[in-house]
Amino acid sequence: MADPKANSEISFAGTFASSAFAACFAELCTIPLDTAKVRLQLQKKANTEEEAGVPKYRGMLDTVATIAREEGLIALWKGVIPGLHRQFLYGGLRIGLYEPVKAFFVGSEYVGDVSLFQKILAALITGALAIAVANPTDLVKVRLQAEGNLLPGLPRRYSGALNAYYTIMKQEGLAGLWTGIGPNIARNAIINAAELASYDQVKETILKIPGFTDTVFTHLLAGLGAGFFAVCIGSPVDVGPFAFYKGFLPNFGRLGIWNVIMFLTLEQYGKCGSCDDLVSLLRPSILVSILAHVKCAGSYIWFSVLQSANEICCPVLMSIYPTCS
């Protein structure tokens, strides 16, 4: 993660905001792969229940191509609004609380390396707390992504994210928004521990190697490491052990890309030492450069959304970072 000394100078609101922005940006870039993953999982479940014949989707890339061809490119971003809701709450809380919880275990005056066990425990706790708050957004995101599996001509249950929240509350009660909360807490706590603790540990290990410093390249390697461990530890919980080993590379591609984008963005926020640094990071030209390098399919479609978000994010973040005057 970012330098603890730098983090200590930033309020929790600032840490939450930067964590939420980094998570939302990664979600925006990679949600087509997440949509494909949900469709594949639903297809597997339907085939098991109905003993169906030839599957419609064959692998992650074929699923992405099929959805784009049959439903249009924009369908790959089905559920992007609740996805951003989810990352704003879940990402902001799980990442933003990680350093404070870790500091609670070792003490605010502790100097030195934190043990891997304490990192894992901190990430388990923050992952569980975050999804307990954000479960409604997770539920709505999955249900909207699943809408594409309905046969042509069948009415859609939800017209959008806000309608989905309202409909679920109306038909299932307020508690309906927390459907599946138990398994969701277990799953997200494990995946959060796999991502945050592994990133922290891998980065710490890399920085002890002569010649390595706290640079973008180090963050890239640590992000890939976090994605790798998230797949190895978290995906069997998500899709089952046999499906996991069959689809290791697609899963690593999805989680690896997500973690690299998220941690690179988060680390750059952590290095903002002044208002000018912060505004520089959020300039549209910088985002264009990031999008050009990550080359995520469809990222340019949402650039106008990011550009509008920047106009809101800049003054908000500048108002909560104590280094800004």
User: Could you give the CA distance from residue 62 to residue 66 in angstroms, rounded to a whole number?
Assistant: 6
9 pLDDT exceeds 90? Answer: no
Q: What pLDDT score was predicted for residue 242?
A: 62
User: Could you give the CA distance from residue 96 to residue 16 in angstroms, rounded to a whole number?
Assistant: 5
pLDDT digits (tens, 9 = 90+) for 177-223: 999 999 999 989 999 999 999 999 999 999 999 999 999 999 999 99
pLDDT digits (tens, 9 = 90+) for 55-98: 788 778 888 888 888 888 888 887 788 889 899 999 999 999 99
**Of 10, 29, 1, whose CA–CA distance to 256 is shortest?**
29
User: Could you give the CA distance from residue 311 to residue 279 in angstroms, rounded to a whole number?
Assistant: 10
- Residue 253 host element (H or E): helix 248-270
Q: Which structural domains are found in the chain, ordered by start?
A: 4-191+284-320 (1.50.40.10)
166 pLDDT exceeds 90? Answer: yes
pTM of the complete model: 0.75
11 pLDDT exceeds 60? Answer: yes
Tokens of 26: 């990664």
pLDDT band with cut points at 50, 70 and 90 for residue 165: very high
Q: What pLDDT score was predicted for residue 133?
A: 95
User: Could you give the CA distance from residue 272 to residue 310 in angstroms, rounded to a whole number?
Assistant: 16
pLDDT digits (tens, 9 = 90+) for 113-161: 899 999 999 999 999 999 999 999 999 988 887 776 666 667 788 888 8
What lies within 8 Å, CB to CB, of 38 at 6+ separation is 142, 145, 146
pLDDT band with cut points at 50, 70 and 90 for residue 53: low
Which residue has better confidence, 166 or 303?
166
Quick one: average pLDDT of 220-228?
A: 92
